[in-house]
Protein backbone atom coordinates (compact mmCIF):
# COMPACT_ATOMS: atom_id res chain seq x y z
CA UNK A 1 0.00 0.00 0.00
CA UNK A 2 1.47 3.40 -1.03
CA UNK A 3 2.21 5.82 1.78
CA UNK A 4 -0.09 8.52 0.38
CA UNK A 5 -2.96 6.06 0.03
CA UNK A 6 -2.22 4.65 3.48
CA UNK A 7 -2.37 8.16 4.97
CA UNK A 8 -5.75 8.76 3.31
CA UNK A 9 -7.08 5.44 4.64
CA UNK A 10 -5.85 6.22 8.17
CA UNK A 11 -7.35 9.71 8.11
CA UNK A 12 -10.60 8.15 6.92
CA UNK A 13 -10.44 5.64 9.78
CA UNK A 14 -9.87 8.45 12.26
CA UNK A 15 -12.85 10.36 10.85
CA UNK A 16 -15.00 7.22 10.97
CA UNK A 17 -14.00 6.60 14.58
CA UNK A 18 -15.01 10.17 15.40
CA UNK A 19 -18.43 9.75 13.77
CA UNK A 20 -19.15 6.42 15.46
CA UNK A 21 -18.01 7.55 18.89
CA UNK A 22 -19.64 10.96 18.56
CA UNK A 23 -22.99 9.45 17.66
CA UNK A 24 -22.65 6.84 20.39
CA UNK A 25 -22.03 9.41 23.06
CA UNK A 26 -23.35 12.87 22.32
CA UNK A 27 -24.91 12.81 18.88
CA UNK A 28 -24.29 15.60 16.40
CA UNK A 29 -24.35 18.41 18.96
CA UNK A 30 -21.61 16.83 21.07
CA UNK A 31 -19.41 16.30 18.02
CA UNK A 32 -19.84 19.89 16.84
CA UNK A 33 -18.87 21.33 20.24
CA UNK A 34 -15.80 19.11 20.59
CA UNK A 35 -14.77 19.72 16.99
CA UNK A 36 -14.97 23.50 17.45
CA UNK A 37 -12.70 23.38 20.52
CA UNK A 38 -10.17 21.03 18.89
CA UNK A 39 -10.12 23.03 15.66
CA UNK A 40 -9.47 26.27 17.53
CA UNK A 41 -6.57 24.83 19.54
CA UNK A 42 -4.92 23.03 16.63
CA UNK A 43 -5.40 25.94 14.21
CA UNK A 44 -3.42 28.11 16.61
CA UNK A 45 -0.70 25.47 16.86
CA UNK A 46 -0.64 25.11 13.05
CA UNK A 47 -0.41 28.86 12.41
CA UNK A 48 2.33 29.53 14.95
CA UNK A 49 4.08 26.13 14.98
CA UNK A 50 7.30 27.38 13.38
CA UNK A 51 7.82 30.20 15.90
CA UNK A 52 6.93 28.00 18.87
CA UNK A 53 9.17 25.04 18.07
CA UNK A 54 12.14 27.13 16.90
CA UNK A 55 12.03 29.18 20.10
CA UNK A 56 11.66 26.00 22.16
CA UNK A 57 15.01 24.70 20.90
CA UNK A 58 16.74 28.11 20.84
CA UNK A 59 17.28 27.82 17.10
CA UNK A 60 19.21 30.69 15.48
CA UNK A 61 18.54 31.74 11.90
CA UNK A 62 21.68 31.83 9.78
CA UNK A 63 22.47 33.69 6.59
CA UNK A 64 24.56 32.51 3.66
CA UNK A 65 27.44 34.64 4.96
CA UNK A 66 27.32 32.81 8.31
CA UNK A 67 26.83 29.25 6.99
CA UNK A 68 27.60 29.33 3.24
CA UNK A 69 27.78 25.56 2.60
CA UNK A 70 24.62 24.75 4.57
CA UNK A 71 22.51 27.53 3.06
CA UNK A 72 23.77 26.79 -0.46
CA UNK A 73 22.90 23.11 0.00
CA UNK A 74 19.38 23.94 1.17
CA UNK A 75 18.92 26.35 -1.75
CA UNK A 76 20.03 23.76 -4.29
CA UNK A 77 17.74 21.08 -2.86
CA UNK A 78 14.79 23.50 -2.69
CA UNK A 79 15.27 24.33 -6.36
CA UNK A 80 15.39 20.64 -7.29
CA UNK A 81 12.25 20.00 -5.24
CA UNK A 82 10.59 23.08 -6.78
CA UNK A 83 10.10 24.75 -3.44
CA UNK A 84 10.58 28.34 -2.26
CA UNK A 85 13.77 28.88 -0.30
CA UNK A 86 13.04 28.13 3.39
CA UNK A 87 14.66 29.89 6.32
CA UNK A 88 17.64 27.99 7.72
CA UNK A 89 18.33 27.57 11.45
CA UNK A 90 21.01 25.98 13.61
CA UNK A 91 20.15 24.50 17.02
CA UNK A 92 22.91 24.81 19.66
CA UNK A 93 23.19 21.19 20.80
CA UNK A 94 25.75 18.43 20.14
CA UNK A 95 22.94 15.86 19.71
CA UNK A 96 22.59 15.13 15.96
CA UNK A 97 19.12 15.71 14.53
CA UNK A 98 17.08 17.93 12.20
CA UNK A 99 13.51 19.00 11.53
CA UNK A 100 11.37 21.14 9.25
CA UNK A 101 8.41 23.23 10.27
CA UNK A 102 6.05 25.87 8.91
CA UNK A 103 2.43 26.03 7.82
CA UNK A 104 3.17 26.03 4.07
CA UNK A 105 6.08 25.89 1.60
CA UNK A 106 6.18 29.70 1.59
CA UNK A 107 6.42 29.82 5.39
CA UNK A 108 8.84 26.97 5.97
CA UNK A 109 11.99 26.61 8.04
CA UNK A 110 14.65 23.91 8.18
CA UNK A 111 16.63 23.46 11.38
CA UNK A 112 19.70 21.33 11.98
CA UNK A 113 21.67 20.80 15.16
CA UNK A 114 25.34 21.63 15.54
CA UNK A 115 25.87 17.94 16.20
CA UNK A 116 24.60 16.80 12.82
CA UNK A 117 26.80 19.29 10.99
CA UNK A 118 29.86 17.72 12.58
CA UNK A 119 28.71 14.14 12.04
CA UNK A 120 27.53 13.90 8.41
CA UNK A 121 29.52 13.95 5.20
CA UNK A 122 28.16 16.09 2.36
CA UNK A 123 25.99 13.41 0.72
CA UNK A 124 24.54 12.26 4.03
CA UNK A 125 23.70 15.82 5.10
CA UNK A 126 22.13 16.41 1.69
CA UNK A 127 19.92 13.35 2.23
CA UNK A 128 18.83 14.61 5.66
CA UNK A 129 18.00 18.08 4.33
CA UNK A 130 16.13 16.57 1.37
CA UNK A 131 14.06 14.50 3.83
CA UNK A 132 13.12 17.64 5.75
CA UNK A 133 12.25 19.55 2.58
CA UNK A 134 10.13 16.55 1.56
CA UNK A 135 7.99 17.13 4.66
CA UNK A 136 7.50 20.71 3.46
CA UNK A 137 6.68 19.63 -0.09
CA UNK A 138 4.26 16.94 1.11
CA UNK A 139 2.56 19.42 3.50
CA UNK A 140 3.02 17.11 6.44
CA UNK A 141 2.48 19.92 8.95
CA UNK A 142 -1.06 20.30 7.61
CA UNK A 143 -1.68 16.53 7.60
CA UNK A 144 -0.39 16.23 11.18
CA UNK A 145 -2.65 19.11 12.23
CA UNK A 146 -5.72 17.47 10.69
CA UNK A 147 -4.88 14.18 12.43
CA UNK A 148 -4.28 15.98 15.73
CA UNK A 149 -7.60 17.83 15.40
CA UNK A 150 -9.60 14.66 14.77
CA UNK A 151 -7.81 12.82 17.58
CA UNK A 152 -8.31 15.84 19.84
CA UNK A 153 -12.06 15.79 19.25
CA UNK A 154 -12.18 12.12 20.21
CA UNK A 155 -10.17 12.81 23.38
CA UNK A 156 -12.55 15.61 24.36
CA UNK A 157 -15.62 13.51 23.69
CA UNK A 158 -14.07 10.73 25.77
CA UNK A 159 -13.60 13.10 28.70
CA UNK A 160 -17.21 14.27 28.32
CA UNK A 161 -18.34 10.64 28.22
CA UNK A 162 -16.49 9.77 31.41
CA UNK A 163 -18.05 12.71 33.25
CA UNK A 164 -21.49 11.84 31.86
CA UNK A 165 -21.12 8.23 33.06
CA UNK A 166 -19.93 9.42 36.47
CA UNK A 167 -22.88 11.76 36.96
CA UNK A 168 -25.38 9.57 35.12
CA UNK A 169 -26.09 12.28 32.56
CA UNK A 170 -26.28 12.22 28.79
CA UNK A 171 -28.66 10.28 26.63
CA UNK A 172 -30.80 7.48 28.04
CA UNK A 173 -29.32 4.05 28.65
CA UNK A 174 -31.00 2.41 25.67
CA UNK A 175 -29.53 4.94 23.22
CA UNK A 176 -26.00 4.86 24.54
CA UNK A 177 -25.75 1.20 25.49
CA UNK A 178 -25.60 1.75 29.24
CA UNK A 179 -22.99 3.26 31.50
CA UNK A 180 -20.64 0.29 31.08
CA UNK A 181 -20.76 0.61 27.30
CA UNK A 182 -20.20 4.34 27.54
CA UNK A 183 -17.13 3.92 29.73
CA UNK A 184 -15.80 1.19 27.45
CA UNK A 185 -16.09 3.49 24.43
CA UNK A 186 -14.58 6.38 26.40
CA UNK A 187 -11.44 4.31 27.00
CA UNK A 188 -11.28 2.42 23.71
CA UNK A 189 -11.89 5.32 21.30
CA UNK A 190 -9.00 7.57 22.48
CA UNK A 191 -6.65 4.57 22.50
CA UNK A 192 -7.61 3.73 18.91
CA UNK A 193 -7.30 7.39 17.89
CA UNK A 194 -3.77 7.56 19.33
CA UNK A 195 -2.70 4.43 17.45
CA UNK A 196 -4.08 5.80 14.17
CA UNK A 197 -2.43 9.19 14.72
CA UNK A 198 0.95 7.51 15.32
CA UNK A 199 0.46 5.33 12.22
CA UNK A 200 -0.15 8.47 10.13
CA UNK A 201 3.08 9.98 11.46
CA UNK A 202 5.03 6.84 10.53
CA UNK A 203 3.53 6.78 7.04
CA UNK A 204 4.62 10.39 6.49
CA UNK A 205 8.19 9.50 7.51
CA UNK A 206 8.31 6.73 4.91
CA UNK A 207 6.92 9.14 2.32
CA UNK A 208 9.50 11.81 3.18
CA UNK A 209 12.30 9.23 2.83
CA UNK A 210 11.01 8.23 -0.60
CA UNK A 211 10.61 11.83 -1.75
CA UNK A 212 14.12 12.71 -0.55
CA UNK A 213 15.57 9.76 -2.48
CA UNK A 214 13.80 10.95 -5.64
CA UNK A 215 15.16 14.49 -5.21
CA UNK A 216 18.79 13.54 -4.49
CA UNK A 217 18.90 10.31 -6.56
CA UNK A 218 21.00 8.89 -3.70
CA UNK A 219 18.82 6.77 -1.40
CA UNK A 220 21.92 5.05 -0.02
CA UNK A 221 23.24 8.35 1.36
CA UNK A 222 20.06 8.93 3.38
CA UNK A 223 20.14 5.30 4.56
CA UNK A 224 23.71 5.78 5.77
CA UNK A 225 22.74 9.05 7.48
CA UNK A 226 19.86 7.38 9.33
CA UNK A 227 22.14 4.60 10.59
CA UNK A 228 24.70 7.09 11.86
CA UNK A 229 22.00 9.26 13.42
CA UNK A 230 20.52 6.32 15.29
CA UNK A 231 23.87 5.41 16.82
CA UNK A 232 24.94 8.97 17.60
CA UNK A 233 21.60 10.11 19.04
CA UNK A 234 21.69 7.21 21.49
CA UNK A 235 25.10 8.35 22.71
CA UNK A 236 24.06 12.01 22.81
CA UNK A 237 20.26 12.11 23.33
CA UNK A 238 18.38 15.33 22.65
CA UNK A 239 16.35 16.78 25.51
CA UNK A 240 13.21 17.09 23.41
CA UNK A 241 9.62 17.90 24.25
CA UNK A 242 7.46 14.80 23.50
CA UNK A 243 4.91 17.03 21.73
CA UNK A 244 7.53 17.87 19.07
CA UNK A 245 9.16 14.43 18.73
CA UNK A 246 7.38 13.72 15.44
CA UNK A 247 9.13 16.66 13.76
CA UNK A 248 12.66 15.24 13.95
CA UNK A 249 14.20 12.98 11.32
CA UNK A 250 14.98 10.38 13.99
CA UNK A 251 12.90 10.06 17.12
CA UNK A 252 14.68 11.92 19.94
CA UNK A 253 12.63 9.87 22.42
CA UNK A 254 13.56 6.49 20.92
CA UNK A 255 15.51 5.50 23.99
CA UNK A 256 12.34 5.89 26.07
CA UNK A 257 9.97 4.20 23.62
CA UNK A 258 8.60 0.81 24.62
CA UNK A 259 6.23 -0.11 21.81
CA UNK A 260 6.60 0.61 18.10
CA UNK A 261 2.84 1.10 17.84
CA UNK A 262 3.17 4.22 19.99
CA UNK A 263 6.21 5.59 18.16
CA UNK A 264 5.99 8.63 15.89
CA UNK A 265 8.71 7.13 13.67
CA UNK A 266 9.09 3.76 11.90
CA UNK A 267 12.03 1.55 12.94
CA UNK A 268 15.30 2.87 11.49
CA UNK A 269 16.10 -0.64 10.26
CA UNK A 270 12.94 -0.72 8.14
CA UNK A 271 13.54 2.77 6.76
CA UNK A 272 17.10 1.84 5.82
CA UNK A 273 16.00 -1.41 4.18
CA UNK A 274 13.42 0.40 2.07
CA UNK A 275 15.91 3.05 0.99
CA UNK A 276 18.57 0.51 0.05
CA UNK A 277 16.02 -1.39 -2.02
CA UNK A 278 15.03 1.72 -3.99
CA UNK A 279 16.03 2.25 -7.61
CA UNK A 280 15.89 5.90 -8.66
**Active site positions, annotated:** 132
Tell how strand 87-91 and strand 60-61 pair up: antiparallel
Tell me the HSE value of 116 on the side-chain side, using a 13 A CA sphere.
Answer: 30
Give Cβ neighbours of residue 194 (< 8 Å, ≥ 6 apart).
Answer: 151, 262
The enclosing H or E element of 65 equals none
Residue pair 250/119 in contact (Cβ under 8 Å)? The answer is no
Burial class of residue 177 (count of CB atoms within 10 Å of its CB; 0-12, 13-18, 19+): middle
Long-range contacts of 47-50 (CB under 8 A, 24+ apart): 47/103, 49/101, 49/102, 49/103, 49/141, 50/101, 50/102, 50/103, 50/107, 50/108, 50/109
Burial category of 280 from C-beta neighbours within 10 Å (exposed 0-12, middle 13-18, buried 19 and up): exposed
Amino acid sequence: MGNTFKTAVLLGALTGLLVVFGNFFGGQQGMVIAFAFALLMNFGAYWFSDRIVLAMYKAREVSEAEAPELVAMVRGLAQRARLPMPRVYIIPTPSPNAFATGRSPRHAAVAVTEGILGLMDREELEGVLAHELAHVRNRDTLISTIAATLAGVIMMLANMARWAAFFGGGRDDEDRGGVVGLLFMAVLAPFAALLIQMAISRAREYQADATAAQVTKKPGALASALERLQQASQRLPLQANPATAHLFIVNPLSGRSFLSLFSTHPPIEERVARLRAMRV
